[in-house]
Structure 1
Amino acid sequence: MRYFLVGISLILSHAAMAAPEDTISQARLRADVERLVGFGTRHTLSVQDDPVRGIGAARDWAEAEFRKTSRGCGGCLEIVKPERMVSGGDRVPVPTRLVNVVAIQRGTERPNEVVIVQAHIDSRVSDILNATSDAPGANDDGSGVALVMEAARVLSQSRYAGTIVYAALSGEEQGLLGGKLLADYAAEQGWTVKAVLNNDIVGGSRGSDGYRDDTHVRVLSEGPRADATDALRAQMRRFGGENDSPSRNISRWVAGLAAGDARGLAARQIWRADRMGRGGDQLPFSDKGYPAVRFTVAVEDYEHQHQDVRTEGGVKFGDTVDEMDFAYLAKVTRLNVRALAGLARAPTPPAPVVKGAVQTSTELDWQAVPGAAKYVVWQRRTDAPAWETMVSETAATGVKLAGVRADDWLFGVSAVAADGSASPVASAVPGGQFAPLPKP
């Protein structure tokens, strides 16, 4: 049985309930992007104390929007603003105050289990150090910030077992600085980070060459995990795991979720940590061992990102609102909202261990997971891209698969809450656990 067909019934068995994704407003998404563009520039090195222009004004707006949303849910959001001074390198030539704007919706049962949705609020033009020229940043990444704000508005109207964190990050264009700041903050808080959904350039459907794709969104994920030691990498080479990082299994889970929604987008999995020669704020989380993926448009328009606003040779440049597709952005928001709700309801994936050397059966064991009513054991061929077969459901913390020779298969386990919400699959391979690896 295909992973996504079974997974959908497990993830949201209570689909009859009112769905937050059905209240997403395309008009609100557009209004948010237009408001962000209205700050002129949101460059990280721009003015911080002007009430109408620059990164400071944009951050103040994001904080005000989170507080407005919180008032609408009876104070359900806690607003925090992690900050630090940054300097050095060729992108931050002078000491600069870096601030993230973060809203925390605490879980009702397992508040330390956290799923993060984030986007970067800063913008840029052609010259990475130009902090004064207009840098609209409509798609990069006003689209992602609007998505985060809308997710907070609709998800805050419900309660979840786990915590949802909504974040507008600064400093991405200057070297993923906001992502590093939030990843450090998550570690300092001792959060169990189940997943990070980074949304960066998610509001356009037409590429530089005119090619249009408004039916897919790309989901990028690392293969071998970034925090692996040399010893772990050696185990992966021998026993598998190159294609089974927690981030890769988040990507598979999102693809399955998308496949079950006829009103949304299909997820095109890109099995790279990010695009060729590029980066995003999911990477600092992966570096710390937190599962993280990037959502981005199916096709990019390079004339309308990282460019001065101008016209040359009849070609218009600049990241402006008129180049966006807000119906498409609403669909990417829909998928994020569905994923956040599912992850916040579901338990943390277990950490299964497989035993099967020189025997005709396979044994899987794992520790009990808080909030899990049962566990589902999955199996797939070593050359198969997706989890293929659900081989067992059990309330126990281990199974024995008689007649299954482990050499030929990969195995994984997902945890299922009492309401049927299922976690992503955790692979029973070296480094498959959804947690940072112990430091040597």
Structure 2
Amino acid sequence: MVCCALSTLIPACASTIVVPPNEQLVLREIQQQVSADRLRKDVTTLVGFGTRHTLSETKSETQGIGAARRWIKAEFEKISAQCGGCLEVIYQKEIFSGEKRIPQPTEVVNVIAIQRGQLDPNRYIIMSGDIDSRVSDPLDYTSASPGANDNASGVAGVIETARVLSQHKFAGTVVYAALSGEEQGLFGGKIMAGIAKQEGWRVEAVINNDMIGNISGINGVINNTTARVFSEGIRFVETPEEARKRRFTGGEVDSPSRNIARYIDKTADQYIPNLDVMMVYRLDRFGRGGHHRPFNAVGYPAVRIMETNEHYDRQHQDLRTENGRAFGDVLSGVDFDFNAKLTSLNAVTMAAMAWAPPPPANTEISGAVKASTTLTWQRPKGKMAENLAGYRVHWRLTTEPTWTHSQYVGDVSEFELKNIVIDNYFFGVSSVAKDGFESPVVFPGPAGSFGGYSH
């Protein structure tokens, strides 16, 4: 069904559409509940394990990665107990050997807490951080390796987000993931992405947090008001046929990962005081990698959140002082108010996505050599649609980084934008809940697809 066209809105049609609110006070409450003091305590505890190297001690109760992951699991279990058992706390394990940085058989273990959705439990919104740390030699698993910012700050953020969001119930499933083996080759992410694929998860977003506590850069800049979000442009799993279609219809900067980044940027603007998101149109930092990449590699939308100004003296360094210059990733390099700010960005983003309906599936567009542009999409059925109010169509100039124009169109599966020529803009569609929570924007065609409702 096609409802009103943009240029011919008539009173009879307008009266049938009730636009949901665009301000969510509960998201402001979530932002304020994130505690810098609790983050400081958790980062301090993680640093206290001496080293969290993937190859380090696993039997000790006080030192090494084994003690660290058992502590993380215990924290998730405490949180679950406080919410009436709302979290499923599990290990994900796999043994690796013969790798460049894992020469001997080593069990890589993730600690995962799953908060099942009430309406759409097979739709997953995942926040991740990396447990492991390292010094200058990636095979040195005995030297002190505090890993305060890289990446105790990210793991502490995951735990704190679980504390805050577990007080609520969501339509979709929220996952809090402490991944291992990142420094040795992104192995924890490969484990989790593989399990998600095998079990048929509909992953809406993976938000990886790697170094979210430093505000003082090697470039001399001290800044606690910006953060970077890295996202891939063209999907890694794109087929030759899909690439051919994209060549003629666009989508190079509208992968689902890229639209997750836009969603995070918009969330920061609206709900996180004094924080500006820098969207970086690249998979990760130049020539480097992070734990969102294994998810991108199997087709899932995934991005990386991190500080804007890195300090390389504090990354992957032996603890030492040379010519008055201190090296090492220690507690003094973490600004916990900033750590809380980026953690709250995750918490608010995940809550908004999880409360929203699923992103539109099978979104398509037409309008070549016409005066108007028509978008179509698939409406979910059953419980997935219980909180659905309708849809919003979006458009922007092809050189604009974010969505600049939109119109709420109601509960329809097709909409025509009259006198909006398809050649001049990029277009998308988002789902809107009855209480106003909105999904990420979906760019039409395979280049922007988040997947369907088949599972």
**TM-score higher than 0.5:** yes
Structure 1 pair 74–19 and aligned structure 2 pair: CA distance change class (3 A)? same
CA displacement 1:223-272 (0-9 Å, x = unmatched): 01111112212222221010000000010111011111352421111111
AA at the equivalent of 1:52: T
What is the SS of the residue equivalent to 1:415?
A: strand
Q: Which position in structure 2 is the counterpart of 1:218?
A: 228
Q: Which position in structure 2 is the counterpart of 1:142?
A: 152
Does 1:331 find its partner at 2:341? Answer: yes
Does 1:300 find its partner at 2:310? Answer: yes
Please state how far the C-alpha of 1:16 moved relative to its aligned partner: 5.7
Does 1:117 find its partner at 2:127? Answer: yes
Q: Which position in structure 2 is the counterpart of 1:393?
A: 409
What is the SS of the residue equivalent to 1:67?
A: helix
Q: Which position in structure 1 is the counterpart of 2:319?
A: 309
Q: Which position in structure 1 is the counterpart of 2:25?
A: 15
Q: Where does 1:15-414 land on structure 2 (aligned, <5 Å)?
A: 15=25, 19-261=29-271, 263-351=273-361, 352-369=363-380, 370-371=384-385, 372-414=388-430
CA distance in 1 between partners of 2:157 and 2:253 (Å):
29
CA displacement 1:140-161 (0-9 Å, x = unmatched): 0000000000000011011111
AA at the equivalent of 1:229: T
Structure 1 pair 56–188 and aligned structure 2 pair: CA distance change class (3 A)? same
AA at the equivalent of 2:410: T
What is the SS of the residue equivalent to 2:75?
A: helix
What is the SS of the residue equivalent to 1:93?
A: coil
After superposing the two structures, state which structure 1 stretch, 218-227 or 395-404, moved more: 395-404
Please state how far the C-alpha of 1:405 moved relative to its aligned partner: 1.9
CA distance in 2 between partners of 1:327 and 1:262 (Å):
13
Structure 1 pair 50–71 and aligned structure 2 pair: CA distance change class (3 A)? same
CA distance in 1 between partners of 2:28 and 2:276 (Å):
22
AA at the equivalent of 2:92: P
Could you list the structure 1 runs, at least 4 aligned residues long, displaced by more than 6 angstroms after superposition.
none
Please state how far the C-alpha of 1:310 moved relative to its aligned partner: 0.4
What is the SS of the residue equivalent to 1:373?
A: strand
AA at the equivalent of 1:387: W
AA at the equivalent of 2:351: A
What is the SS of the residue equivalent to 1:19?
A: helix
Please state how far the C-alpha of 1:431 moved relative to its aligned partner: 1.7
AA at the equivalent of 1:213: N
CA distance in 2 between partners of 1:16 and 1:349 (Å):
21
AA at the equivalent of 2:412: A
Structure 1: tracts of 5 or more residues without a match: 1-8
Asked if the contact 1:195–1:292 (Cα under 8 Å) also holds between the matched residues in 2, the reply is yes
Query: What's the TM-score, normalizing by structure 1?
Result: 0.94
What is the SS of the residue equivalent to 1:299?
A: coil
Query: What's the TM-score, normalizing by structure 2?
Result: 0.91
Asked if the contact 1:41–1:133 (Cα under 8 Å) also holds between the matched residues in 2, the reply is yes
Structure 2: tracts of 5 or more residues without a match: 1-18
CA displacement 1:166-198 (0-9 Å, x = unmatched): 010000000000111111121122211111110
Please state how far the C-alpha of 1:125 moved relative to its aligned partner: 0.3
CA distance in 1 between partners of 2:395 and 2:67 (Å):
51
CA distance in 2 between partners of 1:384 and 1:188 (Å):
37
After superposing the two structures, state which structure 1 stretch, 81-90 or 255-264, moved more: 255-264
Please state how far the C-alpha of 1:402 moved relative to its aligned partner: 2.2
Structure 1 pair 390–321 and aligned structure 2 pair: CA distance change class (3 A)? same
What is the SS of the residue equivalent to 2:43?
A: helix
Asked if the contact 1:11–1:422 (Cα under 8 Å) also holds between the matched residues in 2, the reply is no
Asked if the contact 1:42–1:54 (Cα under 8 Å) also holds between the matched residues in 2, the reply is yes
Structure 1 pair 373–391 and aligned structure 2 pair: CA distance change class (3 A)? closer
CA displacement 1:4-48 (0-9 Å, x = unmatched): xxxxx9786341687222111111100111100100010001111
Please state how far the C-alpha of 1:101 moved relative to its aligned partner: 0.2
Please state how far the C-alpha of 1:330 moved relative to its aligned partner: 0.7
CA distance in 2 between partners of 1:413 and 1:73 (Å):
35
CA distance in 2 between partners of 1:138 and 1:129 (Å):
19
Please state how far the C-alpha of 1:376 moved relative to its aligned partner: 0.3
Asked if the contact 1:113–1:163 (Cα under 8 Å) also holds between the matched residues in 2, the reply is yes
Asked if the contact 2:33–2:164 (Cα under 8 Å) also holds between the matched residues in 1, the reply is yes
Asked if the contact 2:429–2:441 (Cα under 8 Å) also holds between the matched residues in 1, the reply is yes
Does 1:428 find its partner at 2:444? Answer: yes
Asked if the contact 1:10–1:422 (Cα under 8 Å) also holds between the matched residues in 2, the reply is no
